[in-house]
């Protein structure tokens, strides 16, 4: 089918909207006359298709093409051809995330696209922390929605999954508090409109932090399954994590930066530099269950890409219980203990904390950075921003695991303490009890759990394969184009 003499085609699954052109419409600015001149008098039907056009760096934009034909039935089939797209969405906006632009970004860039695509919305601008989580847990009439949209950063996304996962378990009679329970996957998809400080979950699942691109992934109804870890302390549920669980460096950066929220996203640079200079290390024991039956390792060259590895469920996942004897243990002094359940790519590190990690394979990559010199730690950090392998250093080890535990050194009673209580005690005592005057490392760091500080240090982490779904498709290989469907052929 030709437009202005050019043969054009559109990928059916990337149609945003289709509208019939009315011949006598008041909006007709002579286009029908032009269509007739070029296509002949037989052309009685025309329709305009809005579709996804790819730009640079995984960005999507909306483009339009008008098709003409003589056959009304063909035209109708096109109008009905849009595949399952969401029709009703529940939108939560965090007005205080990132640079406080969430509301403006949604109203100016996203809402008009939803309207064009015929999507209706219920919009809730949050009024306090955990507003969205609590609304999803108890109040939201979820049956009427095809998905939930989160406008904010990783912390806001974390609220949404906590609400949704909890609600799904309670509705299906699963005890969300038990670390041994197989959790019920959430059926509603979540869309992320990036409006936070790091926005790593959006970047690692879409390839860019661009609100329009994210809105278009929602409109075309993309679906990307994603793993989530449950974090427990002594059989008490603490939180879920989908991206980074970090103790030591990333935990300290987060807790320091929370006191500097007024700085906006720059707080992470400030606290990052401060914590790098402080150079604290922490002692403890990490035990882990290596992932079984896996098809890759954290040292692979291959990346998690759309339609390839991102949807691989490894044999170990969701699966057979591994015996207690298969646990491995590492004791030592660590600058950082990180678990990356996805690459954790973000503008700070476009390849990510664990570049070969997969979104939906039922595993997390456990990265142990042992105590080393400041210079060596800097080498490790800088490698996140270059082609060099950040794991190819003597003091770094990385394991693909399905479960892990951490126990800080020092007395059991300390590690059982709620961290707030522990920090209170520290105010009245020296940081290091062994060497009161030396100013060396404190005993405990805290865990950075997708950008939220955890109150306990001793934790038990289990990966739940494909527990949630996003309106995304993973990062596309730049050279790969999907099969193109010519409208003449439908």
Ligand X SMILES: Nc1ncnc2c1ncn2[C@@H]1O[C@H](COP(=O)(O)OP(=O)(O)O)[C@@H](O)[C@H]1O
Ligand Y SMILES: CCCCCCCCCCCCC/C=C/[C@@H](O)[C@H](COP(=O)(O)O)NC(=O)CCCCC
Judged by the rule CB under 6 A, the positions of this chain that interact with ligand Y are 153-155, 196-200, 243-244, 250, 253-254, 268, 272, 344, 346, 348-349, 353, 381-382, 384-385, 448, 450-451
Of 303 and 456, nearer to ligand X (C-beta) is 456
Interaction of residue 94 with ligand X, rule CB under 6 A: yes
User: Of these, 98, 147, 191, 246, which contacts ligand X (CB under 6 A)?
Assistant: 98
User: Of these, 3, 74, 96, 270, which contacts ligand X (CB under 6 A)?
Assistant: 96
Spatial contact of 46 and 78, defined as CB atoms under 8 Å apart: no
CA 319/CA 322 separation, integer angstroms? 9
319 binds, among ligand X, Ca ion, ligand Y, none (CB under 5 to 8 A by kind): none
Spatial contact of 465 and 362, defined as CB atoms under 8 Å apart: yes
Interaction of residue 129 with ligand X, rule CB under 6 A: yes
Which of the residues 42, 139, 146, 154 is marked catalytic?
A: 154
CA 353/CA 355 separation, integer angstroms? 6
Of 3 and 381, nearer to ligand Y (C-beta) is 381
Token pair recorded at residue 166? 């909890």
User: Of these, 227, 317, 450, 460, which contacts Ca ion (CB under 5 A)?
Assistant: 227
CA 102/CA 121 separation, integer angstroms? 16
154 is catalytic: yes
Interaction of residue 194 with ligand X, rule CB under 6 A: no
Spatial contact of 46 and 35, defined as CB atoms under 8 Å apart: yes
CA separation (Å) from 140 to 122, 153, 289?
Answer: 10, 21, 37
418 phi, psi to nearest 5 deg? -65, 135
Nearest to 474 by CA among 298, 312, 342, 304: 304
333 binds, among ligand Y, ligand X, Ca ion, none (CB under 5 to 8 A by kind): none
243 binds, among ligand Y, ligand X, Ca ion, none (CB under 5 to 8 A by kind): ligand Y
252 binds, among ligand X, Ca ion, ligand Y, none (CB under 5 to 8 A by kind): none
120 phi, psi to nearest 5 deg? -100, 155
Interaction of residue 237 with ligand X, rule CB under 6 A: no
CA 94/CA 129 separation, integer angstroms? 9
The set of catalytic residues is 154
Site for Ca ion, rule CB under 5 A: 227, 341, 358, 361
Site for ligand X, rule CB under 6 A: 94-98, 126-131, 152-156, 159, 196-198, 451-452
């Amino acid at each position: 089918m030709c437009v202005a003499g050019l043969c054009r085609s559109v990928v059916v699954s990337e149609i945003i909207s289709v509208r019939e052109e009315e011949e006598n419409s008041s909006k007709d600015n002579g286009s029908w006359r032009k269509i007739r001149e070029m296509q002949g008098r037989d052309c009685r039907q025309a329709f305009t298709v809005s579709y996804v056009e790819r730009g640079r760096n995984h960005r999507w934009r909306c483009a339009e093409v008008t098709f003409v034909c003589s056959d009304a039935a063909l035209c109708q089939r096109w109008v009905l051809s849009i595949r399952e797209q969401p029709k009703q969405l529940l939108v939560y906006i965090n007005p205080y995330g990132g640079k406080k632009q969430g509301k403006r970004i949604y109203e100016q860039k996203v809402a008009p696209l939803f309207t064009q695509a015929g999507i209706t919305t219920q919009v809730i601008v949050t009024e306090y922390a955990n507003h969205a989580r609590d609304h999803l847990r108890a109040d939201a009439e979820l049956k009427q929605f095809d998905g939930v949209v989160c406008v904010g950063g990783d912390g806001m996304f974390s609220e949404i999954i906590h609400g949704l996962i909890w609600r799904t378990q309670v509705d299906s009679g699963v005890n969300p508090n038990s670390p041994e329970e197989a959790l019920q996957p959430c059926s509603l998809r979540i869309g992320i409109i990036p409006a936070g400080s790091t926005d790593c979950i959006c970047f690692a699942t879409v390839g860019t932090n661009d609100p329009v691109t994210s809105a278009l992934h929602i409109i075309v109804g993309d679906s990307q399954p994603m793993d989530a870890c449950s974090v427990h302390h002594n059989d008490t549920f603490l939180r879920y994590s989908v991206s980074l669980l970090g103790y030591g460096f990333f935990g300290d950066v987060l807790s320091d930066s929370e006191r500097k929220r007024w700085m906006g996203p720059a707080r992470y640079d400030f606290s990052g530099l401060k914590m790098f200079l402080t150079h604290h290390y922490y002692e403890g024991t990490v035990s882990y269950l290596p992932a079984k039956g896996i098809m890759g390792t954290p040292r692979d060259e291959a990346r998690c890409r759309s339609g390839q590895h991102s949807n691989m469920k490894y044999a170990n996942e969701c699966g057979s219980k591994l015996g207690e004897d298969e646990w491995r243990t590492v004791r030592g002094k660590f600058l950082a203990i990180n678990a990356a359940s996805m690459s954790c790519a973000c503008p700070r590190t476009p390849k990510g904390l664990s570049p070969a990690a997969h979104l939906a394979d039922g595993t997390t990559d456990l990265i142990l950075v042992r105590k080393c010199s400041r210079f060596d730690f800097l080498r490790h950090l800088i490698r996140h921003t270059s082609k060099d392998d950040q794991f190819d250093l003597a003091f770094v080890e990385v394991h693909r695991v399905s479960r892990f535990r951490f126990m800080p050194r020092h007395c059991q009673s300390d590690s059982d303490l709620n961290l707030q209580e522990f920090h209170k005690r520290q105010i009245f005592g020296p940081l290091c009890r062994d060497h009161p005057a030396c100013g060396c490392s404190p005993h405990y760091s805290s865990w950075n759990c997708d950008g939220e500080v955890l109150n306990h240090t001793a934790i038990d982490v289990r990966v739940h394969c494909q527990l949630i779904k996003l309106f995304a498709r993973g990062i596309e290989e730049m050279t790969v184009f999907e099969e193109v469907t010519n409208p003449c052929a439908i």
